[in-house]
Structure 1
Amino acid sequence: MVDSLAITFLMISVMLAIGVPVAFLIFFHRRFTVSWKHVLVGAGIFIVFALILEKMLHAYVLDMNPVTMKWVKNPYFYALYGGLAAGVFEEVGRFIGFRYILQKSHDWEDGISYGIGHGGI
C-alpha cells in the first residue's frame, strides 16, 4: 500500500506541473497577447523530437547495438551521450519549428509562447 503522504505530494506535483505552465500562459496571454499557435507548435515539436525521435535513438543505442551498450555502461559516456542526444534533437526541432512552421515569428512574445508550450508539455 502506498503511503498517504506520498500520494499527497504526488498530487501536489501534478498540480504544479499542470498549473505553472497554464498560469504562465494565462498571464502572458492577457498581458502581452502571446499566440496560442506558438504554444501548440512548441508542444508539438517537443513531443515529436524529444519524446518520439529521441526515444527511437535511445532504443537503438541503449538496447539494440552491442557496441554502444558497452560504451554507455561508463557513467561519463552515458552522461555525454544523453546530453548530446537531448541537445541535438531539441535544437534541430526548435530550428525546424521556427524556420519552417513559424517563419514570420521574430518577436520575444513568440519565443515566450513557444517556450511555454515546449517546457509546459
Structure 2
Amino acid sequence: MPSLEIATNVPKDKVTPTLLLELSKVFSATVSKSEQYCCVRVVPDQLMTFGGSTEPCALAVLHCIGELGVEENKAHAAKIYEFMEKNLGIPSDSIVTHPSQKLFREREREKQNDVPHICGLANIIGWISRNHFS
C-alpha cells in the first residue's frame, strides 16, 4: 500500500480533513496508484528544526512499491513540496523527503540483476520456476 507520512512543526489547526483529502489526491496521482489504496498521514505540532531554524519545516517518508527511483522521487517530491508550500506555508527548501530505503534498494537491486519486480508470492514462484526449472 503506498503511503506518505509527513512530520511537521506546523500547528495542528492548519491540518484539516479537507487538506488531508487534497493531499491524498496529489499523492495518489504522483505515484500513479488508486487513491483507495493510498494512505496519507500528517503529524503536526512536532518539535523540529531545519537548517538551524524553527520556521515551518517537514520530513516526509514515502513508501510505494514500483514507483521509487531517482527520477521518480524527484517528480514525487516536486508535487508534494508544491502542495505543502501552497497549503501549509512550508517552503520547499525546508522539506526533506526520504523514499522508503528498503523498497528503493530492493528496486535498484532488481534492475541490476534483471529480477522481476516482486509484488506477491505468485510472482516469486513463477520467476523461480521459469528461471531455475526450465
Structure with greater helix share of residues: 1
Structure having the higher strand fraction is: 2
TM (norm. structure 2) is 0.26
TM-score under structure 1 length normalisation:
0.28
